[in-house]
A and B are shown apart, each in its own frame.
Chain A
Amino acid sequence: MATVKEGLYYSESHEYVKVEGNYGFIGITDYAQHALGNVVYVDMPDVDDEVTAGEEFGAVESVKAASDLYSPVSGTVVEVNEALEDTPELINKDAFENWIIKVELSDKSELDALMDAKAYEAFCENA
């Protein structure tokens, strides 16, 4: 049912990071959007805010529940996906295409602690 995309890094709390150069695009996985159901609100940080690996940076609210977002990596927010302010349901349409924040990574070695697509797929199956 839920898809997993190759080439991304995944956290146990179901966020992904898509790395391009020194930047990381962070969003929630397809598995997470399936589990949450219809997303009605995304609470995002401001540009220039610092995020820390493993710590909260916002929240996603669906008709079922409000869930905190945990950043898989540390860095500075350089962009937020403003389209989600009015159309949060984009996350349900394509969670991997509709990232939530773009972060300038402060420590790329943190990526080593995350799962690859294969490991994440296995993680979801056992969840």
Chain B
Amino acid sequence: MNNRLYGNLIFELSQEGRSGYSLPKNQFGSYSVPAQLRRKEDAALPECDEMTVVRHYTNLSANNFGVDNGFYPLGSCTMKYNPKINEEVAALPQFAGLHPLQPAETVQGAEEVCQQLCKSLCELTGLYAFTLKPFAGAHGELTGLMVIKKYHESRGDEARKKVIVPDSAHGTNPASAAVCGLEIIEVKSDARGLVDLVDLERLVELEGDSIAAMMMTNPNTLGLFEKQIPEIEKLVHAAGGLMYYDGANLNPMLGAARPGDMGFDVMHINLHKTFSTPHGGGGPGAGPVGVRKGLEPFFPEVSPYHGNFAVAMRALAYIRSLGRENIKLVGPLATLNANYIKESLKDVYELPIDGLCKHEFVFDGLKDKSTGVTTMDVAKRLLDYGYHAPTIYFPLLFHESLMIEPTENESKETIDGFIGVMRKIAEEAKVNPDEVKSAPHLTPIGRVDDVLAAKHPVVTYRQLLAEV
């Protein structure tokens, strides 16, 4: 990890009158912009020469950490490696140079890519049809719920406005339902961390004809496989609701089981998780939505054209380079890696729900709570050892959640190295707790004041200037 701080803002490098470009002569003769549309003052842009700009962004990028730098066990996010062949394929000029309004007969290759990806996703999930239009996972959730709403409306069953969501669900589930104009009812988790069947029976009895759907993530956000899917699916379908599968945790299912076979009617897939395309912020996302036969007429037009086509290309490149046999190893290897880490650390970290997990699992902080070292401290200390921190304080079911997801890609050596460091930190917490509580020490920026950042965020240069 780079431990030299590069902390300049491009605005701070600006010199009045400096420029790194020269515009060509105006070739269009005179033109006039209507007075009311003209700028009243110059845009407050930084003025820099080219070399300053190049060095600035190169140095900034050296402060970044990604899966190409090191191990990134961010639970619930499936930070798997993005193979470089994906990028090569997506950059082929025959695809990258296309314009979405080109005549259809000139883009048949791109159409074929979309169809092949949809076909592969159908085969991998056991569903009948996919749309590639949604731009991200949450957009996919909204799209899927729109399908469900339209389906009920098409049957004149307009009273179905409620969506059952487990209390362990990702926050996007209730948010998407609310954006879609649906109401949320929460079903509790039982002591095993799975959907509480008794509570679900009660809700179904109570709400019956008003249930539009149940949204489930399987394995759930605790990394546990929901074993009662057949019972749950029967209950919800008997009440007239549809089953929605949140594909956020689809990765461990590849090669193990298919949502379509489990009785799910609608699902979305986060291509940036399971199918190795870049994550949000690092590139546009994609959240294709799949449905069982009979629901495909209800696909809404949520975006023009084919969504983020270049992301779809990367996903297809991934599926094709693994091939039908190898892709079946993804789920089992992701599951093996997670269980190996869990079993290797559960004597020093608190494992609230014992047993086999799927691709990820949750510790409830250190086992020895007497040192006062929290999950936040452990996460910060990991940065000193060159690892990205796991997801912390999610899910909300435990106070000191520390959620680890290694993915299938990592070698045993890398995983053993991580286990060794986690054990070392647990030991440090006992013999030198202050060292851990004040971590990180080796990163460009030490422990940040997250309370101040939350209460008083300074997010623009102008705001910063006003403060000084």
- Residues of A whose CB lies within 8 Å of any CB of B are 35, 38, 40-41, 61, 63-65, 67, 88-89
Contacts and interface: CB of A to CB of B under 8 A. Distances in A.
Interface of B: 393-394, 396, 399, 450-451, 454-455
Which of A41, A61, A63, A67 has the most chain B CB atoms inside 10 A of its CB? A63
Contacts of B455: 40-41, 88
A61 B393 contact: no
Given A40-B455, A41-B455, A63 B450 contact: yes
Contacts of A38: 450-451
B168 to A, nearest CB: 14
B451 A64 contact: no
Contacts of A35: 399
A111 B396 CA distance: 28
A115 B245 CA distance: 38
Contact of A63 (B394, B396, B399, B454): B454
Contacts of B399: 35
A95 to B, nearest CB: 16
B454 to A, nearest CB: 4
19 contacts: A35-B399, A38-B450, A38-B451, A40-B451, A40-B454, A40-B455, A41-B454, A41-B455, A61-B454, A63-B450, A63-B451, A63-B454, A64-B393, A65-B393, A65-B394, A65-B396, A67-B396, A88-B455, A89-B451
Contacts of B396: 65, 67
Nearest to A62: B454
A67 B394 CA distance: 12
Contacts of B394: 65
B425 to A, nearest CB: 20
A40 B453 CA distance: 9
Contacts of B454: 40-41, 61, 63
Given A40-B454, A41-B454, A64-B393, 16 more contacts: A35-B399, A38-B450, A38-B451, A40-B451, A40-B455, A41-B455, A61-B454, A63-B450, A63-B451, A63-B454, A65-B393, A65-B394, A65-B396, A67-B396, A88-B455, A89-B451
Which of A61, A63, A64 has the most chain B CB atoms inside 10 A of its CB? A64
A64 B450 CA distance: 10
Nearest to A127: B399
A65 B401 CA distance: 12
A38 B451 CA distance: 7
B457 to A, nearest CB: 10
Nearest to B171: A66
B464 to A, nearest CB: 20
B383 to A, nearest CB: 17
